[in-house]
Amino acid sequence: DTAVSQTPKYLVTQMGNDKSIKCEQNLGHDTMYWYKQDSKKFLKIMFSYNNKELIINETVPNRFSPKSPDKAHLNLHINSLELGDSAVYFCASSRSTLLAGDNEQFFGPGTRLTVL
Amino acid sequence: AQSVTQLDSHVSVSEGTPVLLRCNYSSSYSPSLFWYVQHPNKGLQLLLKYTSAATLVKGINGFEAEFKKSETSFHLTKPSAHMSDAAEYFCVVRHGSSNTGKLIFGQGTTLQVKP
Q: Which residues of B touch A104 (CB under 8 A)?
A: 46, 49
* CB of B58 closer than 8 Å to CB of B65: no
* CB of B59 closer than 8 Å to CB of B65: yes
Provide the shortest C-alpha distance from residue B44 to chain A (in Å).
Answer: 6
Residue among B59, B64, B61, B86 at smallest CA distance from B77: B64
Considering only the beta carbons, identify the residue of B42, B51, B88 that sits closest to A102. B51
pLDDT along chain B (115 residues), means of 10: 90 97 88 91 89 88 94 96 96 72 89 96
- State how far the alpha carbon of A74 is from the alpha carbons of A25, A108, B7, in Å: 9, 12, 34
Closest chain B residue to the Cα of A50, Cα to Cα: B100
CA distance B90 to B17: 21
Q: Which residues of A touch B100 (CB under 8 A)?
A: 48, 55-56, 97
Burial of A83 from C-beta contacts in 10 A (0-12 / 13-18 / 19+): exposed
The letter for the amino acid at A11 is: L
Strand, helix or coil for residue A42: coil
Checking B61-70 for CB contacts under 8 A at 24+ apart, the result is B61/B85, B63/B19, B63/B35, B65/B33, B65/B35, B67/B33
Count chain A–chain B contacts defined by CB atoms under 8 A. Answer: 53
pLDDT recorded at residue B36? 95
Predicted confidence band of residue A98 (pLDDT cuts 50, 70, 90): low
**Mean pLDDT score, A93-98:** 78
- State how far the alpha carbon of A61 is from the alpha carbons of A87, A111, B21, in Å: 15, 19, 34
| Widest Cα–Cα separation across chain B | 45
Burial of A5 from C-beta contacts in 10 A (0-12 / 13-18 / 19+): middle
pLDDT tens column, A64-78: 999 999 989 999 999
Using the Cβ of A98 and the Cβ atoms of chain B, whether some distance falls under 8 Å is answered with: yes
**Mean pLDDT score, A28-38:** 92
Q: Which residues of A touch B102 (CB under 8 A)?
A: 45, 48, 56
CA distance B37 to B44: 6
